[in-house]
Chain A
């Protein structure tokens, strides 16, 4: 589904991603872990096509297409979804209007008719139940006055509404208490099936108890320095990151 080869990317002239290789197939759940500032959000933003990030080398193929040639909206329409680490507020635009537009844009792109208001309402009722969303959140302006937890929940609600092929979850667990974490994880697990894929970005192992990854990658200073299975996440929880940091290992052995 997604193939990343030797990806290098800059933010404001500074190289943040320094050669990423990653392959994600349908039906898989991948986790990217790593300390703060290692480039996790940068990778997610580059994949989603954020204009603030400049790709300097490498290639990305998504569903057989050259992703780097697509505008962010077309990437979304192709089925790439980013649950933001910091969801953005859009005053005066209701969640309902926003989501209806979003869903219909994607449908239009695939030559499908727009949802009728009833279909949309039914879908919304269905999915908001899964997330235990307070009903009035949906008629309120996008993320305006939402608590941190509500914003994250809203991201996963949008994920379920849009039902993309690849879900990138950037620190979706941060700011959630344990109950909310369970609800959000449950939402992701309901989304997950053998025809789509999930890439979870986190620096805590906690979330991975609920969204169980097939692969865990450790990102450090812009490179994937280790790949393993879900046990690796537990090990990291236990021992921290130092034992696998190549610069520290080098320093020790020198």
Chain B
């Protein structure tokens, strides 16, 4: 085959995969945490923080850290600078520790919201998975624990640690102590402080020196939906020359009684190492009037500590009523690289304020930011990005491209670039475009026999191509489907 045919064949097989309804594959298998417990009463106090820590049988240092975070949080004020609007949150009206199996157990799929079932069908989620996701009792056939165990064995041979953060606190306290809060200290921001005080659980990944993780790691979120935490805490460390690709995501529309979600993700990358972190986020966005959606206030940050290290964030955000999220890179090591590829879709009354921060500290550090915002309905979609080049970051380079696509006349798109450069040798480029899904584009595709709905999907997927290219194949396939569902019937 010549190059053209190879490209075309590749393109075609990609397409085939998109059509392929079979979504199940290995990457979703991760770990399952067993916690048997009841809920804490509403409200937040030192007692509650101690209660959470005790429930998790944490060592004293951990309890102390949580308490320090809590005391700091009490002195902080909720930020209101972002371009999102919501009624005040009563932090004393939230339960900070709830039993993992908080979803009602239903007897069959007949009892599940038909809207939800329709979406499952469109996503092609197998029946057994549908049951788990919607809280229907399932039988033992679908026991994932055994699969997860085999998976862990493989990793263990390589010296890779992949477990829940709770387990890591018990089993690997010296590593956790060294890195937890080293990238996002609890003093960082309001939600990070809150998370540090009350975090429920999350993932821990440690890739030792010189090891390439042989498979993509995932939180196993999809199956494990009923245990998704309100305050997730994730810590990933790649030692010298290590590599890992980590997937975080829930492609099924996750409903949750907890409206406020405040996760913290910390990445640490040493010399010549790389972490690729991909997210597909599909929290419940609320109904068509915007009621009941999740508020998602996330702090994600990675530190390129070593020379030639690299962090790549790729995210596809379609869910949540409100998204407040700026995955960032601190480029400390010389020649380190930070990348941010993002697709953020908002529809109906969703609001997203998302972007990245690239902090150039080391010499010849480079960063690339590709952000694609798609707004439909009455939604509002803002990109907020900071590029800071320090005095010593000689030869630093940044390229930022922010494209917005509007699907209606009532939606909004904003771009807020902040550029702070402290040395002359740096090169910072920023490009921004805004376009409307063109009637002429749709007609052109119609004229080739393609329906308007398919035409819009094609145009939108084309618009997001540079970002989807960065996602692992299966994730890209799911992301495309998600986009189609999120934007269904939204042209106008």
Contacts and interface: CB of A to CB of B under 8 A. Distances in A.
B444 interface: yes
Contacts of B448: 76, 98-99, 102, 105, 158, 162
A135 B12 contact: no
B11 A72 contact: no
A40 interface: no
Given A73-B451, A90-B458, A92-B461, A138 B446 contact: no
Interface string B1-31: 0111101110111011000000000000000
Given A51-B439, A138-B8, A139-B4, A90 B447 contact: no
B12 A106 contact: no
Interface residues of B, number: 35
B127 interface: no
B182 interface: no
B438 interface: yes
B94 interface: no
B136 to A, nearest CB: 35
A139 B7 contact: yes
Contacts, number: 112
B449 A73 contact: yes
A36 interface: no
B113 interface: no
A92 B443 contact: no
B464 A100 contact: no
A202 to B, nearest CB: 19
B214 interface: no
B138 interface: no
A136 interface: yes
A101 B459 contact: no
B8 A76 contact: no
Interface in A48-105: 48-52, 71-73, 75-77, 81-82, 84, 87-94, 96-103, 105
- Chain A binding surface, main DSSP class: helix
A92 B463 contact: yes
A136 B4 CA distance: 6
B185 interface: no
A93 B458 contact: yes
Interface string A184-224: 00000000000000000000000000000000000000000
Contact of A76 (B3, B9, B439, B447): B447
A230 to B, nearest CB: 28
A72 B447 contact: yes
Nearest to A50: B443
Nearest to B460: A92
A102 B446 contact: no
Nearest to A158: B448
Contact of B16 (A92, A96, A106, A117): A117
A138 B4 contact: yes
Interface in B385-441: 438-441
Given A52-B439, A90-B458, A90-B459, A121 B447 contact: no
Nearest to A106: B449
B449 A109 contact: yes
Contact of A121 (B8, B16, B449, B461): B8
Contacts of A138: 4, 8
B12 A49 contact: no
B458 A98 contact: yes
Contact of A97 (B15, B440, B444): B15
Contacts of A89: 441
Nearest to A80: B447
A213 B409 CA distance: 46
A48 B445 contact: no
A94 B15 CA distance: 11
Contact of B449 (A102, A117, A136): A102
Given A71-B446, A75-B447, A98-B448, 4 more contacts: A93-B461, A124-B8, A139-B4, A162-B449
**7 closest Cβ pairs, A-B complex:** A92-B462, A92-B465, A93-B462, A102-B448, A72-B446, A88-B444, A76-B449
29 contacts: A48-B443, A49-B447, A51-B439, A52-B443, A72-B443, A73-B446, A73-B449, A76-B446, A84-B447, A88-B443, A90-B441, A90-B444, A91-B462, A92-B464, A93-B459, A97-B458, A98-B458, A105-B449, A105-B450, A105-B451, A117-B13, A121-B8, A121-B12, A125-B5, A136-B3, A136-B4, A138-B4, A138-B8, A162-B449
